[in-house]
Amino acid sequence: MISASERKKRLAYAHRIIAMLGLDDHTYTHLTHRAINSDQFYIQPFGDKFAESHAETLLTVSVDGKVISGTERIYNPTAYQTHGPLYQARPDLQAIFHLHTPHMVAVSCLDSGLMPISQWALHFYEQVAYHDYDSLITAADQGQKLVHDLGNKNILFLRHHGVIIAGKTIQEAMFYTHHLELACKTQVLALSMQQPLKTLDHKTCRRAVETLLNFEQDLGARDWAAWVKQYHHTQAVESEAF
């Protein structure tokens, strides 16, 4: 079992890696990692930028919305209704990211949603769910709608808003984040050319997603190690303590 300190360290890394990749949105999105106590999760204090994330400043929050430990600063009021109900309903999930990059938001606005037109997109073939826009997610019934709409999937497009990306590990969630951003970016570029799109057939897409999601045993672990190494190289802080 991964220790509490290691879980916090990985969550801090996830924030910094997403900032390094330019996928954050100032202070307006949130990432969480389930705690050892499965009825709790870790989250960054509201107001800290992703690039500033530190393990020691993370809050511990119960799935019913109470701050268990951490700084006195209040966490994002939308965060509990986004993460808490999902952790309660899906014991398989260990990490949940909420992001809204322009490419992800653009795709969320399309009736067709994410289209299987690139290998990046094929990671998500028949693996994506959709949720209609309902303003800021601050009420209990909104959180339960997220649970209902996500179902047993790991990707939930929030129409006109962004995405929820969930994983059995934080490495898996980062893996999905990377491929989803590139899939959305490619789709936006393809549509901008205003030419007919050549789509892939159902049989090919089914075979591809099966291969892509089973290419390696610990999905995302290899990429995660490379991102952590890249982060330290970029920052020139090999010995930085989280």
CATH number at residue 149: 3.40.225.10
Query: What pLDDT does 99 receive?
Result: 97
- Tell me the per-residue pLDDT of 19-46, one tens digit each, with 9 for 90 and over: 999 999 998 899 999 998 889 999 999 8
- Cα distances (angstroms) measured from residue 161 to each of 74, 77, 126, 158: 23, 17, 21, 5
Q: Examine residue 148 and state whether it is found in any structural domain, yes or no.
A: yes
pTM of the complete model: 0.92
Q: Which pLDDT band holds residue 134 (cuts at 50, 70, 90)?
A: confident
What are the residue ranges of helices labelled H in the chain? 4-20, 77-89, 102-108, 119-122, 140-150, 170-192, 202-212, 221-235
Query: What pLDDT does 65 receive?
Result: 79
| Residue 215 burial (C-beta neighbours within 10 Å; 0-12, 13-18, 19+) | exposed
Tell which phi-psi region holds residue 75, choosing left (phi > 0), alpha (psi between -120 and 50) or beta.
beta
Q: Percentage of the chain with pLDDT > 90?
A: 73
Quick one: which of 156, 163, 216, 10 has its CA closest to 94?
10
- Tell me the per-residue pLDDT of 73-108, one tens digit each, with 9 for 90 and over: 566 777 788 899 999 999 999 999 999 999 999 999
Domain that residue 112 falls in: 4-235
Q: Examine residue 129 and state whether it is found in any structural domain, yes or no.
A: yes
Distance CA 41, CA 23 (A): 22
Distance CA 149, CA 89 (A): 12
Q: Examine residue 111 and state whether it is found in any structural domain, yes or no.
A: yes
Q: Examine residue 221 and state whether it is found in any structural domain, yes or no.
A: yes
| Residue 113 burial (C-beta neighbours within 10 Å; 0-12, 13-18, 19+) | middle
**Total number of domains in the chain:** 1
Q: Angle formed by the axes of helices 4-20 and 221-235, to 10°?
A: 70
Q: Examine residue 241 and state whether it is found in any structural domain, yes or no.
A: no
Those residues whose C-beta lies under 8 Å from the C-beta of residue 138, and which sit 6 or more positions away, are 77, 78, 81
Distance CA 154, CA 174 (A): 12
45-67 as b/e: b if 16+ CB within 10 A: bbebebeebbbebbbbbbbebeb
Q: Examine residue 242 and state whether it is found in any structural domain, yes or no.
A: no
Query: What pLDDT does 136 receive?
Result: 67
Q: Examine residue 240 and state whether it is found in any structural domain, yes or no.
A: no
The answer to whether residues 75 and 48 touch, using CB atoms and an 8 Å cutoff, is no
| Phi and psi at residue 181, to the nearest 5° | -60, -45
Q: Examine residue 208 and state whether it is found in any structural domain, yes or no.
A: yes
